[in-house]
């Protein structure tokens, strides 16, 4: 066998593994530019959804800037959050099974909820995203997660509060809150989402309840040290 150039040699043990690593190094890196993601999305989702995605991207950038978080990661996760929004239930289920994800009874009944997990898989496999914080922010954008990072909160909040969601006093208040306090806003948006699901008579995925409880607790821990936040907590409970 012809020897590989020095730069392509690897320390792998099997010749097949060595060869595929060497070949992947010859390929250009995956193109995850904004233009390519938008081009891909335009073939997958209707124009109204593209406009929602762009508003989520804008709001996520604003929140990341205000809270001194990584603006580029926020923009990338927001742009990619709905990559799998229009995948059919069968495709979502088979992607989740292939990935080895545990599918719970609520997801089995409503596979659309898996579009968030599937979006992270597409971001990784189609666009070569490797940053776990970005991938997790995509994965948690619908149901939230009790372990969600602040970047995850930014994408969760931007998705729920982007201007296209409406201009009710409640939404305006939550937008203002998200600019001030990501933890409190995440608790309050999870609350609002649960109220909406109950009113609509929908099944509730327990992860949103867990998210609500975790962020309420985290917020309560911060108010012990911060009297201004304590006033906001009382106000939040009254409204
Ligand atoms: N905790 C939950 N339990 C069950 N269904 C949920 C939950 N959260 C959101 N959903 C439902 O999942 C669907 C997708 O949510 P989402 O991604 O936020 O949608 P959209 O961006 O279209 O508003 C919606 O129909 C919503 O009602």
Provide the residue count of the chain. Answer: 239
Report the alpha-carbon distance of residue 157 to residue 153 in Å, rounded: 6
CA of 141 to the centre of ligand 1 (A): 9
Question: Residue 130, Cβ neighbours under 10 Å: how many?
Answer: 10
Per-residue pLDDT in tens (0 to 9) along the chain, 239 residues: 333 333 333 334 455 545 655 666 677 778 889 999 999 999 999 999 999 999 999 999 999 999 999 999 999 999 999 999 999 999 999 999 999 999 999 999 999 999 999 999 999 999 999 999 999 999 999 999 999 999 999 999 999 999 999 999 999 999 999 999 999 999 999 999 999 999 999 999 999 999 999 999 999 998 877 766 666 655 554 44
Res 224: pLDDT: 73
Minimum CA distance residue for ligand 1 atom 13: 113
Atom 15 of ligand 1, nearest CA residue: 142
**Distance in Å, CA 142 to ligand 1 centroid:** 6
* Spacing, Cα 202 to ligand 1 middle (Å): 10
Ligand 1 pocket test target in 165, 197, 209, 211 with most atoms within 8 Å of CB: 197
Residues with CB under 6 A from ligand 1: 112-113, 142-143, 159, 193, 197, 202-205, 208
Centroid of ligand 1 to alpha carbon of 196 (angstroms): 10
Using CA atoms, how far apart are residues 95 and 3, in angstroms rounded to an integer?
38
Choice from 48, 202, 207 to test ligand 1 binding pocket (greatest atom count within 8 A of CB): 202
Strand, helix or coil at 100? Answer: coil
Q: What single DSSP character describes residue 167? A: -
Compute CA distances 153 → 5, 76, 94, 139, 181, whole Å: 46, 14, 28, 12, 10
Q: What is the DSSP string of 28-88?
A: PPP---HHHHHHHHHTTS-HHHHHHHHHHHHHHHHHHHHTT--HHHHHHHHHHTTTTTT--
Tokens of 159: 């998705």
Transcribe 129-163 into DSSP letters: ---HHHHHHHHTTTT--TT--HHHHHHHHHHHHSG
Q: Which strand (E) or helix (H) includes residue 209?
A: helix 206-223
Domain with CATH 1.10.3210.10 in the chain: 31-238
**Alpha-carbon separation of residue 115 from 27, 80, 118, 176 (angstroms):** 29, 11, 5, 28
Q: Which two tokens stand for residue 123?
A: 């971001």
Phi, psi of 132 (to 5 degrees): -65, -30
* Mutate-to-test residue for ligand 1 from 142, 145, 204, 208, highest number of ligand atoms within 8 A of CB: 142
Query: 129: which 2 tokens?
Result: 């995203």
Check residue 13 and give its pLDDT.
43
- Which ligand 1 atom is at minimum distance from the Cα of 208? 1
Q: Give the Å distance between the CA of 143 and the centre of ligand 1.
A: 7
pTM: 0.86
Q: Domain 31-238, what fold?
A: Hypothetical protein af1432 (1.10.3210)
pLDDT at 12: 40
Q: Phi/psi of residue 81, each to 5°?
A: -65, -30
Per-residue confidence (pLDDT) for residue 26, from 0 to 100: 75
């Amino acid at each position: 066998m012809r020897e590989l150039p020095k730069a392509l040699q690897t320390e792998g043990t099997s010749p097949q593994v060595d060869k595929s690593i060497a070949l992947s190094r010859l390929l250009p890196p995956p193109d995850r530019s904004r233009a390519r993601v938008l081009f891909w999305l335009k073939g997958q989702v209707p124009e109204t959804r593209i406009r929602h995605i762009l508003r989520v991207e804008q709001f996520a950038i604003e929140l990341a800037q205000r809270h001194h978080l990584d603006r580029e990661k926020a923009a990338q996760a927001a742009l990619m959050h709905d990559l799998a929004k229009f995948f059919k239930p069968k495709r979502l289920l088979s992607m989740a099974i292939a990935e080895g994800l545990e599918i719970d009874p609520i997801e089995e009944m409503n596979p659309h909820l898996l579009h968030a997990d599937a979006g992270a898989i597409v971001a990784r496999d189609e666009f070569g995203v490797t940053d776990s914080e970005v991938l997790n922010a995509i994965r948690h954008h619908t149901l939230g997660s009790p372990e969600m990072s602040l970047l995850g909160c930014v994408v969760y909040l931007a998705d729920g509060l982007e201007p296209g969601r409406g201009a009710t006093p409640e939404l305006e208040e939550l937008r203002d809150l998200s600019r001030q306090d990501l933890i409190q806003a995440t608790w309050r948006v999870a609350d609002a989402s649960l109220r909406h699901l109950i009113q609509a008579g929908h099944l509730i995925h327990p992860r949103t309840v867990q998210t609500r409880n975790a962020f309420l607790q985290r917020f309560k821990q911060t108010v012990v040290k911060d009297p201004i936040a304590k006033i906001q907590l009382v106000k939040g409970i009254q409204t």
